[in-house]
Amino acid sequence: MERFAVLLIAVFVGVCQGYGVHMKSKANATLPLVMWHGMGDSCCNPLSLGRIQKMVEEQVPGIYVLSLQIGDNIIEDTANGFLMNVNKQIDMACDKISKDPKLQGGYNSMGFSQGGQFLRAVAQRCPSPPMHNLLSVGGQHQGVFGFPKCPGANYTLCEMVRKLLNLGAYESFIQDFLVQAEYWHDPLNEEEYRAKSVFLADINQERVMNPSYKTNLMKLNKFVMVMFSKDTEVQPKESEWFGFYKPGQDKVLNTLQESAIYKNDTLGLKEMDAQKKLVFLTAEGDHLQFTEDWFKQNLVPYLK
């Protein structure tokens, strides 16, 4: 009987030790990274996201990086950043993420410019596999009211976007396909924005309340928002920290903490703030302009 008890204890200890080693190896493993580029860019441009991916792989050895390509090639990926319904893009991204076997244990995400709010939509709509940290680098979480500059080399596409926004950002046929119209936020006409914005008003809980959006966003470990102090492309730049104009005018700004989204806690941001899950970073420069040293010091720690 004693020998059986000793044997049983030995087996139990062995199982526990094995379980402990397994848990430790999982805890110490580097999470994969999903990236989403901004307007005028593509998944794999060696001068932009390709360079960022290389830098991440150097700083975090062994990391798996999925840089989202929306379309069959880089040309389509770039064009779709202007001319594909954002909700369709989110569906495509969720499908890619859900089918990637290397992401099934969870992942971190990093979105650049409009890729920041797109990945937040992924977090809110597609909680499996789980997103751990969300890094939004210049993302416009309260939208934009202005289009002063257009990044990228395609001047024709930029001019087309400007003309369509001037024609009427909330016209249904424009909302159906023009990406930048889908996060256009007119503070002079909040009622029309809430009624007709097919993307931003939805993910910001300003149309119909979707409890799962709040539940899923609050599952994040950290939500990191980077604002560029001298941003001349995003109006207002405070949208990168979830701030925006006070309704009815376009001069005076509300911070996130002064906004209805925060006060009513429709997305869980107030509670996340209390839990120290929100991180507000400033980069001294124009839109998406930062040094490698700044990137390594401020963002890489959230990828390890």
Catalytic residues: 113, 231, 287
- Say which DSSP state 130 is in: P
Place of tokens 């094995």: 18
b/e map 33-64, b = 16+ CB within 10 Å: bbbbbbbbbbbebeebbeebbeebeebbeebe
- Say which DSSP state 248 is in: T
Ramachandran angles phi, psi of 8, nearest 5° = -60, -45
**What one-character-per-residue DSSP string does 134-150 give?**
EEEES--TT-BS-----
Cα distance between residue 279 and residue 87, in whole Å: 26
How wide is the angle at C-alpha 77 spanned by C-alphas 72 and 82, nearest 5°?
Answer: 140
With 0-12 CB in 10 A as exposed, 13-18 as middle and 19+ as buried, what is 109? Answer: buried
Cα distance between residue 282 and residue 298, in whole Å: 10
What number of other Cβ atoms are within 10 A of residue 2's Cβ?
6
User: Nearest CA to 118 among 229, 41, 21, 20?
Assistant: 41
